[in-house]
Amino acid sequence: MKNSDTTGRKTDGREIAAAFAPRAQRLQLMALYRWIAEIEQIGDKAKEPAIRAMRFAWHRDAVGDLCQRPRKIRRHVAYEGLARLIDDDILDVRDLLSIIDAVETGQDPEAVADQAALLAMLDGHFGGVTRLSARICGGEEPALVALAGRVIGLDHWVSGFAMRAGRQFALVPASDLRSVDFNIHRLATGREPEIAKQAFTPTLECFALHLSKIREAGASPTALFPALGAARLAHATLRKAKGASDLYRTNFARSQIGCQFDLTRASLSGRL
């Protein structure tokens, strides 16, 4: 039995953290997050590889249309907001196309040969979005932004375990699967949760290492907190994953109020 749809959808901490930005920046952040949500949900909504490929191609064309003369803006709320960000010289079309490529690559299990390949993929996807968010907020802390992007990416990666395993998307590095004599087909069945977690343990250890690094990095500048604050919510995800006996049936969803409380407390110190 596959378990890709058995757990609740996790609240997107990026959108909650955006509420801490001044109104103008908050609207810009939400425009970016509406767009990336459309890209990230392609894998959730389309089960057939051919349909997913068509949707990624549609979004690439839609992004490309934004820099054409005369400009063509697709009748889609995500692209109307994106056009305004490009007009304000906040976003570059090349950045957006790179993010689409990274999200699509993340659906190919053969793309993650080892942990280095996994981190590179997360940097391209979540790191790319976090850099754009920081640009909107006017921040100049590249090392902290890159670290927060990885933490946010690992948070999404771990909490999406059941869906990614069931769809046979990239999830566990191939080197870690081989180390426990496992494969993506057995991983997808959900019938061997103990060995699945064993294979996933190096990824959880990598997650813990990055959370330790972000704690040591000190406080986020106030201006950057709306862009980076979602990293704070990753601590709860790791605790739940480490304590889980069955990652397929672990519900990583948190209430919006709980997330807001954590971020409000974190915003007072800036610590991620």
Residue 120 in any domain: the answer is yes
4 domain residue, yes or no: no
Chain segment 153-203, per-residue pLDDT in tens: 999 999 999 999 999 999 999 999 999 999 999 999 999 999 999 999 999
Predicted confidence (pLDDT) per residue in 6-35, tens digit: 444 567 899 999 999 999 999 999 999 999
Q: Answer yes or no: are the C-beta atoms of 79 and 66 closer than 8 Å.
A: yes
Question: Given a cut of 70, is residue 3 above it in pLDDT?
Answer: no
CA-based nearest residue to 126, from 270, 248, 231, 255? 231
- Structure confidence by residue, pLDDT tens digits, 122-147: 999 999 999 999 999 987 789 999 99
Quote the pLDDT of residue 2.
Answer: 46
Query: Cβ neighbours of residue 52 under 8 Å, at least 6 residues apart?
Result: 42, 43, 46, 104, 107
Question: Domain holding 68: CATH number?
Answer: 1.10.600.10
Residue among 135, 160, 113 at smallest CA distance from 224: 135
Residue 2, domain member (yes or no): no
d(CA 164, CA 268): 35
pLDDT at 8: 46
Structural domain boundaries, residue 170: 13-269
| Residue matched to tokens 């986020």 | 220
Domain count for the chain, please give it. Answer: 1
Q: What is the pLDDT of residue 135?
A: 94
Tell me the per-residue pLDDT of 217-243, one tens digit each, with 9 for 90 and over.
Answer: 999 999 999 999 999 999 999 999 999
Model-level pTM? 0.94
Q: Is residue 6 part of a domain?
A: no
Q: What is the pLDDT of residue 9?
A: 53
Residue 219, strand partner residues: 271
Across residues 246-269, what is the average pLDDT? 95
Structural domain includes residue 231: yes
1: in domain: no
Work out the number of other CB atoms within 10 angstroms of the CB of residue 221.
Answer: 17
Q: Is residue 183 part of a domain?
A: yes
Q: Is residue 169 part of a domain?
A: yes
pLDDT at 67 (0 to 100): 81
